[in-house]
């Protein structure tokens, strides 16, 4: 591959519908120094080694400022005034925050929280699919799986988790969109996007502060109350930290899940035999489909602008010098033929599927126990209830972002719903 234009090629929209041939080219050189001085890593073994290497930091305060576009202030001094979230810091600080959140989030500390949300997930999905039927009860109709289904669903779920009233969802969605857009390298320079992201996160933080004020200290059973209240085992989180990390949970769990559901429906429509099997009662099939989607069409294609070396690191005969930004192309690693057989085949029956769709190491996706049932329920219900679903356009139009990748719209035709 032409090493002077790696980023140009990754950002090139013509690769969006199918970036995998480009990744196959990238894998020929497992570690490449890109034109901007950053290093791009694309093979499974090397990515896993780096995800577990403490010399690769996620602390944005260490991140070198790329070129002329460099930020003029550290992120924590930005307009947000909020402390960094735990995705952007290293152990031991990272571990303290993650531990406090885990206590309030799910198993083993709160086994009931996610289980009780599963009934809500079914209810939300059912009412969204019922609404398709209202468009046209019997004849042929068109729906957009993104706008009419996958987009509103995870926001509603996360609002329930955090204790956000449903009527605030549109405001929430707009703020979350702004944070996600700021992560898209095609929407502006690095410094400008960092500033926009800090502003949007500050707005979200202000929103959560108002929500807590309005409760006048009353506690309920949601995550926000749990964090503010703390528990007997450990000191509670300072309020600023709660606001900052609540905003992270909202945004980290939103567009990712939208894209997994949408990539999932697109893949199933391209593999009608699997869609058909989902209509039956095969045990664990939905779980296996979702794991295979996380390998085959993952929403998070790469981690970029988030990792930098705090020491020299030797990997695949290359020394990545201290102070270098590193991009880990997770989606290329999950299709590495040296690690997985027949990697370009969508095969939910694979015996081993150790994909990188949720990352790895200390920052392994915190929301995985929520995202998995959300996507399983969404895809199973779509398979069971839509009559004769078919794609209107293949490939569909994609969002511009190469890192957080998925269709902008997924129009399908159906002959009513069951």
Give yes or no for residue 267 binding ligand HEM (CB under 6 A).
Answer: no
Spatial CA neighbour of 47 closest among 332, 411, 414: 332
Candidates 137-145, 178-186, 207-215, 355-363; binding stretch for ligand HEM (CB under 6 A): 355-363
Given its phi and psi angles, is residue 84 left (phi above 0), alpha (psi -120 to 50 degrees) or beta? beta
Tell me how far, at minimum, the Cβ of 66 lies from ligand HEM, in Å: 18
214 CB neighbour count, 10 Å cutoff: 9
Residue 406 interacting with ligand HEM (CB under 6 A):
no
CB-based contacts of 232, cutoff 8 Å, min separation 6: none
Query: Which span sits near ligand HEM by CB under 6 A: 3-11, 13-21, 246-254, 340-348?
Result: 246-254
- Residue span 50-69 as binding mask against ligand HEM, x where in contact by CB under 6 A, dash where not: --------x-----------
| Interface with ligand HEM, residue 358, by CB under 6 A | yes
Residue whose Cβ sits closest to ligand HEM: 367
> With contacts defined by CB under 6 A, how many residues of the chain interact with ligand HEM?
25
Mask for 24-43, x = binds ligand HEM (CB under 6 A): --------------------
For strands 303-309 and 325-328, give the pairing: antiparallel
Query: Closer CB to ligand HEM, residue 325 or residue 417?
Result: 325
With CB under 6 A as the contact rule, the residue among 278, 370, 414, 417 that binds ligand HEM is 370
Shortest approach of ligand HEM to residue 97 CB, angstroms? 8
C-alpha dist (Å) from residue 93 to 60, 84, 100, 237, 238: 14, 10, 11, 12, 13
Residue spans of alpha helices (H) in 334-394: 368-385
The neighbour count for residue 182, using CB atoms within 10 Å, is: 20
Among positions 22, 249, 269, 313, the unique one binding ligand HEM when judged by CB under 6 A? 249
Quick one: 143 or 300, whose CB is closer to ligand HEM?
300
If binding is defined by CB under 6 A, does position 260 make contact with ligand HEM?
A: yes
- Structure tokens belonging to residue 268: 């199933």
Q: What is d(CA 262, CA 66) in angstroms, rounded to the nearest whole number?
A: 33
Which member of 181, 196, 363, 405 binds ligand HEM (CB under 6 A)?
363
Contact in structure between 326 and 70 (CB atoms under 8 Å): no
**Does 326 participate in binding ligand HEM (rule CB under 6 A)?**
no
Measured from the CB of residue 2, what is the shortest distance to ligand HEM in angstroms? 28
Q: Is 123 exposed, middle or buried (0-12, 13-18, 19+ CB in 10 A)?
A: exposed
Cα separation, 51 vs 78, whole angstroms = 28
Alpha carbons within 13 angstroms on the beta-carbon side of residue 77 total 5
Q: Phi and psi at residue 170, in whole multiples of 5°?
A: -60, -40
Minimal distance in Å, beta carbon 16 to ligand HEM? 17
Q: How far is the CB of 274 from ligand HEM (least distance, A)?
A: 18
Q: Residue 164 interacts with ligand HEM (CB under 6 A)?
A: no
Burial 344-359 (b: 16+ CB within 10 A, else e): eebbbebeebebbbbb
Stretch that binds ligand HEM, among 10-18, 64-72, 298-306, 379-387 (CB under 6 A): 298-306
What is the closest distance, in whole angstroms, from the C-beta atom of residue 142 to ligand HEM in the complex?
26
Strands 39-41 and 303-309 come out as unpaired
From the list 50, 56, 87, 289, which residue makes contact with ligand HEM (rule: CB under 6 A)?
87
User: Which chain residues interact with ligand HEM by CB under 6 A?
Assistant: 58, 86-87, 98, 248-249, 252-253, 256-257, 260, 298-300, 303, 306, 357-359, 363, 365-367, 370-371
């Amino acid at each position: 591959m032409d090493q002077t234009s790696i980023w140009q090629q990754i950002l090139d929209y013509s690769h969006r519908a199918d970036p995998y041939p480009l990744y196959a080219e990238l894998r020929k050189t497992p570690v490449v120094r890109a034109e901007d001085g950053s290093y791009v890593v694309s093979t499974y073994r090397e990515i896993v080694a780096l995800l577990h290497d403490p010399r690769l930091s996620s602390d944005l305060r260490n991140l070198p400022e790329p070129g002329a576009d460099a930020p003029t202030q550290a992120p924590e001094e930005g307009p947000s005034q909020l402390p960094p979230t735990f995705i952007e810091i290293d152990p031991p600080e990272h571990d303290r925050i993650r531990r406090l959140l885990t206590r309030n989030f799910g198993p083993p500390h709160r086994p009931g929280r996610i289980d009780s949300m599963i009934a809500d997930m079914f209810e939300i999905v059912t009412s969204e699919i019922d609404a398709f039927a209202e468009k046209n009860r019997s004849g042929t109709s068109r729906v957009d799986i993104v706008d009419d289904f996958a987009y509103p669903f995870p926001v509603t779920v996360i609002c329930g988790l955090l204790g956000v009233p449903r009527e605030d969802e549109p405001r929430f969605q707009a703020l979350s969109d702004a944070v996600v857009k700021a992560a898209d390298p095609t929407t502006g320079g690095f410094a400008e996007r960092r500033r926009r992201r800090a502003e949007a996160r500050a707005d979200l933080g202000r929103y959560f502060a108002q929500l807590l004020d309005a409760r006048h200290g009353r506690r309920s059973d949601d995550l926000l109350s749990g964090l503010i209240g703390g528990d007997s085992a450990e000191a509670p989180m300072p309020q600023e930290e709660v606001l900052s990390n609540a905003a992270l949970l909202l945004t980290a769990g939103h567009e990712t899940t939208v894209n997994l559901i949408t990539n999932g429906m697109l893949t199933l429509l391209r593999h009608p035999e699997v869609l058909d099997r989902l209509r039956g009662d095969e045990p664990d099939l939905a779980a296996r489909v979702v794991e295979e989607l996380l390998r085959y069409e993952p929403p998070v294609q790469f981690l970029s602008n988030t990792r930098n070396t705090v020491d020299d690191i030797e990997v695949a005969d290359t020394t990545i010098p201290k102070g270098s930004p590193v991009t880990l192309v997770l989606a290329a690693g999950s299709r590495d033929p040296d690690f997985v057989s027949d990697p370009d085949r969508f095969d939910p029956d694979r015996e081993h599927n150790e994909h990188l769709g949720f990352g790895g190491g200390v920052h392994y996706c915190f929301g995985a126990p929520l995202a998995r049932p959300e996507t399983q329920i969404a895809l199973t219900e779509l398979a069971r209830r839509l009559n004769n679903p078919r794609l209107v356009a293949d490939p569909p139009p994609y969002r511009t972002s190469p890192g957080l990748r998925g269709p902008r719209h997924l129009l399908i035709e159906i002959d009513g719903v069951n």
